[in-house]
């Protein structure tokens, strides 16, 4: 019997090793350790043994069973691991194939520029003011020290709707409206929006374009405040190492009036094609609010002063991104628009 | 304004300053120099030649063989094709080795077998603009005066050894529309003196007042002065004068006309010369025109006048349009012997209106419009008399006949130094301020802590304290202004709720895969109302530049469709664009159209294209609707929005819906009609437009957290047989209305129309979710709630499958 047991053990262990997968292994387990298996049979047959032999045999059978069980478990672990490896192998993929990209659009480059400027000024305590694109002659010109027949009206060719209404030629009427609304109170606003001029569309002209203007009114607003504010704007839009310079200019609604240049961001001031070899790039017009403008809106020009500035969003975007034709902003070619997706800096 | 530096040197010392440096100084202190033009353009070897003989070329009809002396005893053969070349002329010769503008190099050459050692030049070949070349030489070579010396430097002689500054003048600086004005500016910058021309001349004993009488019947002409010069010999002007004019961009004509133009450029005071005999009267009467009165101007155009146009007449008929252009009837010609010189001050507004109406802009009107210096009018007339005597052999009659009511007093500005410094944020000393004002030649007196300033009348732009602030600052240097930020802000900046929500709307659109487009607000009359949510009266331009951009739009969709077409024409297989912009509706009380901000989108072609996985989806109605629904979800409006089948011109009648917010129409969505698609060569294309003002303006409740469900939900499915035309949305409404508060969600999970259904029917399956956040529902409760739904559905005529 002992011999028989040893032989069974050998057989079982051999079949365990031979089992190629978990199913075959289970068959081996059922065959040898199951209720109807030979080891169970042997245990059942122990009744025929003498009382002295029984414990000895019992121990022996148990030992065999434990050994087979242990080896079986070991073998199960091996085969399970093997099965997982096979599964992993089967499931492995070419990770270099492209993913299922989630479609994403993005802002128009002009909106991108405008929001960047809005955010800068909001952080400095400004509000954003908006107004109608169809304006009254009064807000677009007269309230800005440009009475009818003023030669400076020629600076802006205008689309008229009637004698008294027109497509605004700048966002300055929003300033005039805000001043009228605030009735003498201090103002800090930024005014973005579409504006219109009678121009034939070409690489550098567009009958519709976008402007962002700023207006600050309060007690003791100085030209140095304007310069400091414009410096912050130049650095935000074109980099911290930009320098600015002011040049005298003329706008009917400001006195003194200036134009602001920035040091060329491409050549750093040495002279290149971007700055037309001057080292400086003209960016915007600005000035101290003309007392007539303040008075027309009900401000006491002896008590308060202010500054204003106006930027063309297209000009900023063209310089910043190197766009060479203003019409790109209005043809809405996906191949153009999709380039303004990623972040910078 | 073109400023010849050779000319400018007559009035101010600019020696020792390079033209570029001078230009930079002028630009930085107030007047932008647009260009620095070297008139010699690097030319070399251009000399005076004497045409000794001229013979026809033996083998070419249009060519001449000339022997030209280009230095003492240095005679060269030069072939010349100009029609006006002649023996004994003094001409300009470019010798072999010469470089001319445009990269032209002159070499020895043979022309039809004849040797040519150089080129006889026209002014155009020397880089002079054709429009300023005197008419006599416009089609051929330029001929020099007889007394010029062969071999001498021709460029010097014709004033091309000169630099011209092109000034970009702003409307306020009309004082710099004259050489003297520029001289004052340059003198102020360089701390130099201005040398004014000396005016001296002899008069004859006859009196001007015996020749001409002047009367004025219009307030638009406060000063009219006439001088009379007899025995004028009309001829070419001396070379120096012609070349100053050409440098200034003015074409020389004859000595009389050139003198008036010279003074226009020198003093900025327009003058006019009449042929005295052609006036046919001894009277000048300035008056307003009669309505419809006619005059033929110097450019041979007949002009019809209006009653507010100011005219100069001979007492009867107009002989000039005041300040704008002279009449052909009184023009100075080669036969003229006696001239009347007009020096006048015409009201700027009147001149501007007239020149605009007639479409006649001249150097003269440009100056009157902006206001000429009242104190230079009479001086300019004297200067003309002097030059007519000196350069045209004229005899000046004694006296000036004038009507003069012109206020010539300077503008007084009183300003405190503190005001100036406070406005600038600077601390400029009183001494520095006085020094600057002196350099500008402003009369200034410091008294009681104030600066009392009389600005010269040539500076019409100086009127108020702020003007003085600017003058001080620009000459002190804008670089000296420090940088500060405004003090004392009590305002917290930020976006309005509407502005913040608009940015969110942009984020939703872009997160859904759409690019933001910007299209034009102006469109054609035809497209203006197309797809409009509510078409109202359109707003049209008074004078559009084209029909295509004549009317303000009432919908954003037409231009987005055009943009889609543009992209598809460039092989884009997928287009997804949105735009936020205003539409212009009707008219409000204040005469402006009502502007309403809208959001629109266009989708065309592929939507999903995961190529190698073989997953493709073309855009359809529900892609577009899903995007719009996402926006409403983000805005917290989902439960208040409904879609209702609708008809919109240009959209697919079976694939179009109106979008309702609280039952009010706020938008449309639909497939583009196949006929419309064909126009733009588009495949499946879907559009939507929302009244963003209404959508973002809708107030929503505060966001309050709802407890996260801890108890299981129970779902029940229902399949219904419906008429094909029955909207599922209506059924959902029925289910929602009947479901108790336990019904939390209704979803459509299957729609089937096909063989297995009766014709005209469809099957729609819904999944209903019931739960109670407080406890686990019992079967009975669910059954009871669900039965109510089933009952309502049956009552609504839906058939359970």
B361 touches chain A (CB under 8 A): no
What token pair was written down for B323? 């300040």
CB contact under 8 A, B578 and A115: no
> What per-residue confidence (pLDDT) applies to B59?
87
Residue-wise pLDDT tens digits, B341-371: 999 999 999 999 999 999 998 899 999 998 9
Over the stretch B757-782, which tens digit does the pLDDT of each residue have? Answer: 888 889 999 999 998 888 888 889 89
Judge if B597 and B644 occupy the same domain.
Answer: yes
Residue B511 domain flag: yes
Q: Is B750 a residue whose pLDDT tops 90?
A: yes
Quote the CA–CA distance of B461 and B447 in Å, as a whole number.
24
In a domain, B705, yes or no: no
Contacts with A253 (C-beta within 8 Å, 6 or more apart), sequence order:
A144, A145, A146, A172, A287, A289, A290, A293, A308
Chain A residue closest in CA terms to B462: A255
Q: What is the CB neighbour count within 10 angstroms for residue A200?
A: 9
- Res. A44: pLDDT tops 80: no
Asked if B470's CB is within 8 angstroms of A248's CB, the reply is yes
DSSP lists the bridge partners of residue A187 as: A217
Q: Contact A155/B171, CB-based, under 8 Å? A: yes
Give me the residue from B487, B549, B576 closest to A220, CB to CB: B487
Q: Which residues in chain A have their CB less than 8 angstroms from residue B593's CB? A: 134
Task: Return the residue matching tokens 């600017």.
Answer: B470
Nearest by Cα to B81 from B139, B145, B151: B139
Does residue B682 belong to any structural domain of this protein?
yes
Annotated binding-site residues of A for Mg(2+) read 255
Inside any domain, residue B749: yes
- Residues from chain B contacting residue A227 (CB–CB below 8 Å): 481-484
Same domain? For B97 and B117 the reply is: yes
Top residue of B354, B470, B547 to mutate, by most chain A CBs within 10 Å, is: B470
Q: What's the CA dihedral at B55, B60, B61, B64 to 10 degrees? A: -30
| Mean pLDDT of the region B431-456 | 95
pLDDT tens string A280-305: 999 999 999 999 999 999 999 999 99
In the predicted model, what is the mean pLDDT of residues B166-181? 93
The verdict on a CB contact (< 8 Å) between A332 and B567 is yes
Quote the domain boundaries for residue B168. 2-39+163-190
Query: How far apart are the C-alpha atoms of A251 and A144, rounded to whole Å?
Result: 10
Nearest to B67 by CA among B56, B79, B57: B79
B576 touching chain A per CB within 8 A:
yes
3-state class of A70 per DSSP? helix
Q: Best mutation site among A123, A168, A306, A334 for testing chain B: the one with the most B CBs within 10 Å?
A: A334
Q: What is the pLDDT of residues A88-132, one digit of tens each?
A: 999 999 999 999 989 999 999 999 999 999 999 999 999 999 999
Q: Are A107 and B173 a contacting pair at CB < 8 A?
A: no
- One domain, residues B524 and B379: no
A225, B486: Cβ pair inside 8 Å?
yes
Q: What is the CATH number of the domain that holds B627?
A: 3.30.930.10
Put simply, whether B566 touches A (Cβ < 8 Å) is: yes
**For residues B633, B637, B505 and B567, what is the CA-based torsion angle, rounded to 10 degrees?**
70
Find the CATH number of the domain harbouring B81: 2.40.50.140
Kindly state whether residue B18 falls inside one of the protein's structural domains.
yes
Domain boundary among B474, B505, B528: B474
pLDDT of B548: 95
Predicted local distance difference test score (pLDDT) of residue A276? 83
Distance to chain B for A296, nearest Cα, Å: 16
Residue with tokens 């989108």: B601
pLDDT confidence of residue A226: 97
Partner A contacted by B422 (CB < 8 A): yes
Which residues 196-225 of B have a C-beta within 8 angstroms of A? none
Contact between A224 and B425 using a beta-carbon 8 Å cutoff:
yes
Sole residue written with tokens 């037309």: A276
The tens digit of pLDDT for each residue in B116-161 reads: 999 999 999 999 999 999 999 999 999 999 999 999 999 999 999 9
**Cβ-based contacts of A252 with chain B (< 8 Å):** 171
What pLDDT sits at residue B440? 95
Instruction: Judge if B678 and B793 occupy the same domain.
Output: no
| Distance (Å, whole) CA B54 – CA B77 | 10
B476–chain A Cβ distance below 8 A for any pair: no
Chain A residue numbers with beta carbons less than 8 Å from the beta carbon of B510 are 104-107
Q: Do B372 and B455 share a domain, yes or no? A: no
Check whether residue B183 and residue B125 sit in a common domain.
Answer: no
Per the listing, tokens 């766009």 go with A323
The answer to whether A256 contacts B470, with C-beta atoms less than 8 Å apart, is: yes
Per-residue pLDDT band at A29 (split at 50, 70, 90): confident
> In the structure encoding, which two tokens stand for residue B187, read together?
């003198």
Q: Are residues B333 and B463 in the same domain?
A: no
- The pLDDT confidence band at residue B320, using thresholds 50, 70 and 90, is very high
Which of A98, A103, A295 to mutate against chain B (most B CBs within 10 Å)?
A103
* Binding residue positions of B for Mg(2+): 461, 467, 470-471
Interface residue of A109, A138, A146, A151 to substitute, partner B, most B CBs within 10 Å:
A151
Counting beta carbons within 10 angstroms of the beta carbon of residue A47, is it exposed (0 to 12), middle (13 to 18) or buried (19 or more)?
exposed
B474 with A305: Cβ contact below 8 A? no
**Does residue B15 carry a pLDDT above 90?**
yes
Looking at every residue in chain A, the average pLDDT score rounds to 91
Residues B445 and B302 in one domain: no
**Domain termination site, one of B375, B404, B433:** B404
Measured CA to CA, the distance from residue A188 to residue A121 in angstroms comes to 9
Chain A residue closest in CA terms to B513:
A104
More confident residue, A330 or B774: A330
Number of domains within chain B = 6
Cα(B646)–Cα(B643) distance, rounded to whole angstroms?
9
Per residue in B232-286, pLDDT (tens digit) is 999 999 999 999 999 999 999 999 999 999 999 999 999 999 999 999 999 999 9
Tell me, what CATH number does B27's domain have? 3.30.56.10
B565 has a pLDDT exceeding 90: yes
Nearest CB to A127 within list B478, B493, B575? B493
Spatial contact of B24 and B110, defined as CB atoms under 8 Å apart:
no
For chain B, the residue count is: 801
Does residue B481 lie within any of the structural domains? no
- Cβ contact (<8 Å) for B352 and A132? no
Percent of the residues in chain B that have a pLDDT greater than 90, as a whole number: 85
The minimum CA-CA distance between B273 and chain A, rounded to whole Å, is 27
- Residue written as token pair 């979803």: B747
Of the residues B383, B404, B425, the one at which a domain ends:
B404
Identify all chain B residues contacting A157, using CB atoms and an 8 Å cutoff. none
CB–CB of B509 and A105 under 8 A? yes
Subunit contact A160:B541, Cβ cutoff 8 A: yes
All residues of chain B having their beta carbon less than 8 Å from the beta carbon of residue A110 are 518
Locate the chain A residue with the closest alpha carbon to B585.
Answer: A134
- Is residue B195 in some structural domain? no
Using the beta-carbon criterion (under 8 Å), do A245 and B479 form an inter-chain contact?
yes
* pLDDT of B798 over the 90 cut: no
Same domain, B292 and B371: yes
DSSP string, B225-237: EEEEEES----PP
Return the axis-axis angle of helices B728-738 and B779-795, rounded to nearest 10°. Answer: 130
Kindly state the DSSP code that residue A23 receives in the 8-state scheme.
Answer: H
| pLDDT band at residue A155 under the 50/70/90 scheme | low
- Averaged over A76-87, what is the pLDDT? 90
Mean pLDDT to the nearest integer, B568-572: 95
Q: What percent of chain B has pLDDT over 70?
A: 100
Across B494-614, the runs of DSSP E, i.e. the strands, are 515-516, 522-523, 551-552, 574-585, 594-610
Nearest CA to B128 out of B90, B171, B158, B88 is that of B158
Q: End-to-end alpha-carbon separation of chain A, Å? A: 85
What's the pLDDT score for residue A345?
76
Q: Which residues contact A247 (CB under 8 A, 6 or more apart)?
A: A258, A259, A260, A261, B27, B28, B32, B478
pLDDT (0 to 100) of residue A267? 87
Does residue B696 have a cis bond before it (omega within 30 degrees)? Answer: no
Instruction: For B565, name the nearest residue in chain A, comparing CA atoms only.
Output: A333
Shared-domain flag, residues B507 and B537: yes
For residue B540, the chain A residue with the least C-alpha distance is: A161
Domain co-membership, B534 together with B666: yes
Are A291 and B426 an interchain contact pair (Cβ–Cβ within 8 Å)?
no
The answer to whether the CB atoms of A105 and B581 lie below 8 A apart is no
Cβ atoms of A112 and A333 within 8 Å: the answer is no
B741 in reach of chain A (CB within 8 A) = no
Element containing residue B792 per DSSP (H, E)? helix B779-795
- Could you tell me the CATH number of the domain that includes residue B217? 3.50.40.10
Query: CATH number of the domain that B776 lies in?
Result: 3.30.70.380
The alpha-carbon gap from B758 to the nearest alpha carbon of chain A, in Å, equals 40
What residues of B are in contact with residue A330 (Cβ under 8 Å)? Answer: 518-520
List the one residue out of B431, B404, B430 whose CA is nearest residue B418.
B430
Q: Which residues of A touch B541 (CB under 8 A)?
A: 159-161, 167
B480 in a structural domain: no
The CA-to-CA distance between both ends of chain B, in Å, stands at 89
Chain B residues with CB under 8 Å of A216 CB are 486
Q: Which of B470, B493, B563 sits opposite A124 (nearest CB)?
A: B493
CB contact under 8 A, A228 and B29: no
Q: What are phi and psi of B468, to 5 degrees?
A: -70, -40
- Whole-number Å distance between alpha carbons of A72 and A96: 41
pLDDT of residue B800: 86
Neighbours of A202 (CB within 10 A): 10
Tell me the binding residues of B. Answer: 461, 467, 470-471
- Tell me, yes or no, whether B605 and B684 share the same domain: yes
Supply the pLDDT for residue A66: 87
What is the average pLDDT value for chain B, to the nearest integer?
94
Instruction: Name the helix (H) or strand (E) containing B188.
Output: helix B179-190
Nearest chain B CA: its distance from A103 CA (Å): 4
User: Which is nearest to A85 in space by CA: A77, A74, A94?
Assistant: A77
From chain A, the residues in CB contact with B490 under 8 A are 186
């Amino acid at each position: 019997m002992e011999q028989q047991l040893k032989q069974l053990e050998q057989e079982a262990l051999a079949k365990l090793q031979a089992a190629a997968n978990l199913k075959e292994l289970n068959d081996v387990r059922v065959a040898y350790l199951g209720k109807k298996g030979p080891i169970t049979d042997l245990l059942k047959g122990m009744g025929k043994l003498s009382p002295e032999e029984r414990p000895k045999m019992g121990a022996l059978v148990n030992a065999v069973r434990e050994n087979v069980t242990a080896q079986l478990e070991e073998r199960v672990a091996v085969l399970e691991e093997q099965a997982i490896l096979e599964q992993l192998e089967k499931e492995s993929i070419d990770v270099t194939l492209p993913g299922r990209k989630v479609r994403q659009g993005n802002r128009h480059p002009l909106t991108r520029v405008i929001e960047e400027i809005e955010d800068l000024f909001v952080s400095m305590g400004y509000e954003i003011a908006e107004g109608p694109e169809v304006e009254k002659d009064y807000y677009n010109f007269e309230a800005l020290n440009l009475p009818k027949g003023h030669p400076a009206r020629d600076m802006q060719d205008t689309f008229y709707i009637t004698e008294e209404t027109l497509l605004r030629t700048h966002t300055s009427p929003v300033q005039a409206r805000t001043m009228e609304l605030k009735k003498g109170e201090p103002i800090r606003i930024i005014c973005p929006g579409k504006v219109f001029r009678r121009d034939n569309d070409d690489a550098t002209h567009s009958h519709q374009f976008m402007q962002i203007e700023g207006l600050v009114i309060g007690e003791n607003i100085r030209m140095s405040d304007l310069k400091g504010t414009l410096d912050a704007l130049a650095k935000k839009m074109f980099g911290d190492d930009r320098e600015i310079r002011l040049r005298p200019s003329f706008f009917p609604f400001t006195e003194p009036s200036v134009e602001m240049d920035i040091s060329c961001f491409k050549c750093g001031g040495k002279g290149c094609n971007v700055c037309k070899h001057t080292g400086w790039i003209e960016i915007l017009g600005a000035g101290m609010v003309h007392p007539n403008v303040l008075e027309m809106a009900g401000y006491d020009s002896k008590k308060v002063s202010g500054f204003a500035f106006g930027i063309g969003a297209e000009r900023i975007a063209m310089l910043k991104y190197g766009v060479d034709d203003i019409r790109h902003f209005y043809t809405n070619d996906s191949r153009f628009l999709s380039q303004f997706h990623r972040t910078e800096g | 304004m073109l400023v010849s530096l050779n000319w400018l040197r007559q009035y101010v010392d600019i020696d020792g300053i390079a033209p570029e440096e001078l230009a930079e100084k002028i630009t930085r202190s107030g007047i932008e120099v647009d260009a620095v033009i070297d008139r010699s353009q690097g030319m070399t070897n251009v000399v005076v030649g004497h045409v000794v003989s001229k013979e026809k070329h033996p083998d070419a009809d249009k060519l001449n063989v000339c022997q030209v002396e280009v230095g003492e005893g240095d005679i060269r053969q030069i072939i010349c094709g100009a029609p006006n070349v002649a023996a004994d002329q003094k001409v300009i010769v470019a010798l072999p080795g010469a470089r001319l503008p445009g990269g032209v190099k002159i070499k020895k050459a043979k022309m039809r077998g004849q040797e040519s050692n150089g080129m006889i030049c026209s002014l155009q070949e020397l880089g002079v603009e054709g429009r300023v070349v005197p008419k006599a030489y416009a089609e051929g070579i330029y001929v020099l005066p007889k007394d010029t010396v062969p071999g001498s430097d021709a460029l010097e002689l014709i004033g091309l050894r000169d630099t011209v500054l092109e000034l970009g003048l702003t409307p306020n600086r009309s004082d710099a529309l004259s050489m003297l004005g520029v001289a004052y500016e340059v003198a102020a910058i360089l701390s130099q003196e201005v040398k004014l021309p000396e005016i001296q001349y002899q008069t004859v004993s006859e009196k001007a007042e015996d020749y001409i009488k002047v009367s004025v019947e219009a307030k638009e002409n406060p000063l009219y002065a006439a001088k009379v010069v007899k025995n004028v010999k009309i001829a070419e002007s001396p070379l120096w004068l012609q070349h100053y004019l050409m440098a200034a961009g003015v074409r020389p004509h004859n000595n009389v006309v050139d003198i008036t133009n010279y003074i226009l450029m020198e003093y900025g005071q327009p003058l006019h010369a009449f042929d005295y005999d052609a006036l046919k009267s001894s009277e000048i009467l300035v008056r307003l025109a009669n309505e419809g009165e006619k005059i033929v101007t110097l450019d041979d155009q007949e002009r019809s006048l209006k009653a507010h146009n100011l005219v100069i007449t001979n007492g009867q008929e107009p002989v000039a349009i005041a300040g704008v252009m002279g009449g052909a009837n009184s023009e100075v010609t080669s036969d003229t012997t006696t001239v009347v010189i007009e020096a006048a001050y015409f009201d700027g507004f009147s001149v501007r209106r007239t020149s605009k109406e007639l479409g006649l802009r001249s150097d003269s009107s440009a100056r009157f419009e902006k206001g000429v210096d009242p104190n230079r009018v009479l001086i300019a007339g004297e200067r003309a008399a002097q030059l007519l005597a000196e350069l045209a052999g004229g005899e000046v009659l004694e006296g000036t006949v004038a009507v003069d009511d012109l206020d010539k007093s300077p503008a007084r500005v009183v300003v405190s130094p503190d005001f100036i410094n406070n406005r600038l944020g600077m601390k400029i000393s009183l001494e520095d301020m006085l020094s600057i004002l002196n350099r500008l030649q402003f009369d200034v007196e410091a008294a009681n802590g104030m600066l009392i300033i009389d600005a010269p009348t040539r500076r019409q732009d100086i009127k108020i304290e702020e003007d003085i602030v600017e003058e001080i600052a620009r000459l002190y240097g804008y670089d000296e202004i420090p940088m500060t930020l405004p003090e004392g802000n009590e305002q917290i900046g930020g976006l309005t709720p509407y502005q913040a929500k608009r940015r969110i709307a942009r984020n939703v659109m872009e997160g859904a895969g759409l690019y933001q487009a910007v299209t034009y607000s102006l469109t054609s009359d035809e497209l203006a109302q197309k797809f409009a949510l509510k078409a109202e009266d359109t707003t049209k331009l008074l004078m559009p530049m084209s029909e295509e951009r004549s009317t303000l739009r009432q919908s954003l969709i037409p231009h987005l469709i055009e943009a889609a077409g543009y992209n598809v024409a460039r092989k884009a297989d997928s287009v997804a664009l949105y735009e936020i912009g205003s539409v212009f509706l009707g008219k409000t009380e204040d005469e402006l159209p009502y502007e309403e901000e809208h959001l629109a989108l266009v989708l065309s072609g592929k939507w999903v294209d995961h190529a190698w996985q073989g997953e493709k989806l073309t855009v359809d109605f529900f892609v577009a609707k899903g995007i719009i629904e996402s926006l409403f979800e983000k805005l917290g409006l989902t439960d208040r929005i409904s879609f209702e089948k609708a008809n919109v011109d240009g959209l697919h009648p079976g694939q179009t819906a109106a979008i309702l917010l609280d039952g009010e129409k706020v938008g449309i969505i639909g497939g583009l009609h196949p006929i419309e698609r064909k126009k733009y060569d588009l495949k499946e294309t879907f559009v939507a437009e929302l009244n963003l003002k209404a959508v973002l303006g809708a107030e929503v409740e505060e966001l309050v957290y709802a407890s996260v469900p801890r108890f299981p939900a129970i779902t029940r499915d229902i399949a219904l047989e419906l008429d094909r035309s029955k909207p599922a949305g209506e059924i959902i409404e029925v289910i929602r209305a009947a479901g108790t508060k336990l019904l939390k969600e209704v979803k459509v999970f299957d729609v089937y129309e096909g063989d297995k259904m009766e014709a005209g029917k469809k099957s729609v399956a819904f999944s209903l979710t019931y739960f109670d956040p407080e406890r686990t529902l019992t079967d009975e409760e669910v059954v009871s709630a669900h039965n109510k739904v089933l009952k309502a559905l049956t009552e609504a005529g839906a058939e359970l499958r």
